[in-house]
Amino acid sequence: MKGRLLVLIGLVAAIVAALTAAGLAGAASGNKLGAQLRGSNERPAAPASNRGSVEITLKAGKVCWEFSVTRIDGKPNAAHIHKGRPRAAGPVFIPLGTTYKRQGCTSASASKINAVRANPSGFYVNIHNAKHLAGAMRGQLGMHA
């Protein structure tokens, strides 16, 4: 009986170790991304006092997000992942819902998810509002700790 218990404990420990390693491998492969959002990063620039952050999670067929907005000069009405370098406006690549939500998930093709995962700094996230139709705050994506 004691031997079976030790085998069971060893098996549970091995499963926990494998799941932990899989989680770390997933994080290392770019499943969690983040950005510091600033109004001054927008083109054209919005007020520098507009600030926030976003965490993006890439999953099979889904992109999930969670925004934390510190200050914005108007009610947010949309958010997107855009393709583009810093200081350059780019096209919407993945809409984060049809209207602004602080958190949620949306469907995206594997090719779009893989493109963001492969080169996060080639994409930025921004939040739009009625005062700043081009964007009220923005930040380039990068690996999230």
> Architecture of 31-143 per CATH?
Sandwich (2.60)
No. of helices (H) and no. of strands (E), the chain: 2, 9
pLDDT grade, residue 4 (50/70/90)? low
Identify the pLDDT of residue 143: 85
- Comparison of pLDDT for 144 and 11, the residue scoring more: 144
Helix (H) or strand (E) holding 9: helix 2-28
C-alpha pair distances (Å), 138 with each of 20, 45, 53, 74: 33, 10, 9, 15
pTM of the predicted model, to two decimals?
Answer: 0.79
In the chain, what are the domain boundaries? 1-30, 31-143
Asked whether the predicted pLDDT for residue 41 surpasses 60, the reply is yes
Q: Closest Cα partner for 134 from 119, 121, 122, 124?
A: 124
Identify the pLDDT of residue 3: 53
